[in-house]
Chain A
């Protein structure tokens, strides 16, 4: 079998497998509130349910769709199916996959990148799962330590701590690509410091793509 055919066969099977697992995950998480309602013999009325759900849907439906469009080309197919089932994408799975691809020197979006990214997200999901299980088992012992006031500045600044290092790594390699989106984002956040990052990620990505396309056409990169 040629390598192109082998790649197509892998692509086909990963999409089939991904759709089956993603559908199963959706059924499973839907079964949770159903089981709770049956067990407690209490079903939510339509109006309180809609009152709680509508504001959330208005924000998180666009974010959910945007996340898929933005992250899936970086992660690859297998990794996307797994990362979106296990969650915590921007704060964990995407940086984790990026870091793994950087460490083993494979290009994001390449065939090897797809393999490494899937291995990284699987390792990350298993680790988080284990940490949460330990957290549940040792709740009484861990709660006072993790919520100790002295540690709060550390946990409150986990995203700057993560993206500072990741930013240096990627921007030092692609500084020309970073000029436009970084300037734009700094300006936006200085004007509106509480702007939701989830909404701004696609705007930042689009500005980076537009600048990259311009520089590519002008042979500046």
Chain B
């Protein structure tokens, strides 16, 4: 059997998944855009949200691409492409694939992977990620109803509740980065400092462009500095 992992059949499957995600994104985009116009939201505001989000996504997407390339060594290119396009995450796909490979007594680093191992990995990666979507289909409407009820009963507390959840999410990643070693810590502070500088420039010089692209630029700047820190400090 030739390289079944990179066969035309696998890439056709990947193409279909990519097409599905594209169509769904366009449908939801149109729906939100139309609703925004109905509510009188300025088109400029929506366009700004779209463009800044696309720009912001570029660098994290490269990291997703890197995960795809990492997995491609053992699984070929198409299956990681499929898994990272739909209901996937860089934090999930690698451990799921490795757990399945180990259960079959092998590893992802094996180049000549038997078909039987490959199919088990494909099934495990797929079935293991289903809980979130199932929970959403069954409970999201009820959950959002409860959140809306809290906001209707006490609007100020409703807004604080959402802010507290955001701050909780961010705090967990800040804690993880602070304890992740010297380079991680320095990268975190560099990114925060760059953002501080952009906010000051925007306030003092009133240059709007700083606000629109401050996050991706701070992120790329801090990543570049991480290379420098690594060069000076090693691990």
Contacts and interface: CB of A to CB of B under 8 A. Distances in A.
Interface in B72-99: 72, 77-79, 81-82, 84-92, 95-96, 99
Interface in B19-77: 20-22, 24-29, 31-33, 35-36, 38-39, 41, 45-46, 48-54, 56-66, 68-70, 72, 77
B60 A99 contact: no
A143 to B, nearest CB: 5
Contacts of A216: 156-157, 160
Interface residues of A, number: 159
A35 interface: yes
A206 B58 CA distance: 32
B18 A129 contact: yes
Contacts of B223: 154-155, 157-158, 161
A207 B162 CA distance: 13
Interface of B is mostly: helix
A177 B164 contact: yes
Given A52-B103, A86-B25, A98 B57 contact: no
Contacts of B108: none
Contact of A84 (B14, B136, B163): B136
A131 B64 contact: yes
B111 interface: no
A36 B94 CA distance: 19
Given A70-B165, A174-B167, A181-B172, 19 more contacts: A18-B136, A32-B82, A35-B13, A36-B13, A40-B115, A48-B103, A48-B116, A52-B100, A56-B100, A68-B139, A82-B25, A86-B85, A95-B215, A143-B69, A161-B222, A161-B223, A170-B167, A186-B179, A208-B167
Interface residues of B, number: 153
Interface in A54-99: 55-57, 59-61, 64-65, 67-74, 76-78, 80-82, 84-92, 94-99
Nearest to B46: A119
Contacts of A6: 38-39
Most B CB within 10 A of own CB, among A161, A182, A195: A161
A76 to B, nearest CB: 8
